[in-house]
Amino acid sequence: MASGPRYTVPMRRRREARTDYHQRLRLLKSGKPRLVARKSNQAVTAQLITRGPQGDETVASARSTDLAEYGWEAPTGNLPAAYLTGVLAGLRAVEAGLDEAVLDIGLNSPTPGSKVFAVQEGAIDAGLEVPHNDSVLADWSRTRGEHVAEYAEQKEEDLYSGDFDATELPDHFDELRETLLEGDVEL
């Protein structure tokens, strides 16, 4: 490791590879709330965060595990769940009085068609204005989960453990999306 009087130790979160401060500064300079999309193998999280005098403040948030309250029976770590999480976060943000945001993907790779862009697409469909390029969004068939259903049909045993049949994922997705966007649920 470097040493000497001219060497400065990087900030802790930079050393831990948890924060890209140059990207964060560009997002904060926009003056718009940030749509923070984070993913894991089990769940997807979407938050709308604004700057405040005491630091960042979360205005609205949704986690893919919240979808169970609205009837979601499929796993929560896939692309359809990421889209629906974006819809839920977008609806909660619009209800809280926000109308625009910028996407913050953190240290995730900006891979076209990924879960973080599915969250963005869901928030846009919920009425939030987020600057985007359509080329990064997944095909609608993938967002609905048709690729999962096709794979499940090819497999002889059940794809998911539990009671959910993966071949019904696109229909289940359409039902919940319609329920959320029609406003028949309490957020």
The total number of residues shown for the chain amounts to: 187
pLDDT for the residue numbered 19: 87
pLDDT for the residue numbered 1: 62
Tokens of 164: 């959910």
pLDDT for the residue numbered 186: 81
Taking the C-alpha atoms of residue 88 and residue 46, their distance in angstroms, rounded to an integer, is 9
Taking the C-alpha atoms of residue 78 and residue 10, their distance in angstroms, rounded to an integer, is 35
* Cα dihedral 129, 132, 138, 140 sign: positive
Answer whether 145's CB lies under 8 Å from 169's CB: yes
Taking the C-alpha atoms of residue 97 and residue 85, their distance in angstroms, rounded to an integer, is 18
Kindly report the pTM of this predicted structure: 0.91
Taking the C-alpha atoms of residue 50 and residue 36, their distance in angstroms, rounded to an integer, is 10
Alpha helices (H) along the chain: 12-15, 21-29, 79-95, 115-125, 140-144, 146-154, 169-182
pLDDT digit string, tens, across residues 49-73? 999 899 999 999 999 999 999 999 9
Answer whether 141's CB lies under 8 Å from 112's CB: no
pLDDT digit string, tens, across residues 109-167? 999 999 999 999 999 999 999 999 999 999 999 999 999 999 999 987 787 777 788 99
DSSP-derived 3-state class of residue 102: strand
* Burial of residue 143, with CB atoms counted within 10 A of its CB: 0-12 exposed, 13-18 middle, 19 or more buried: buried
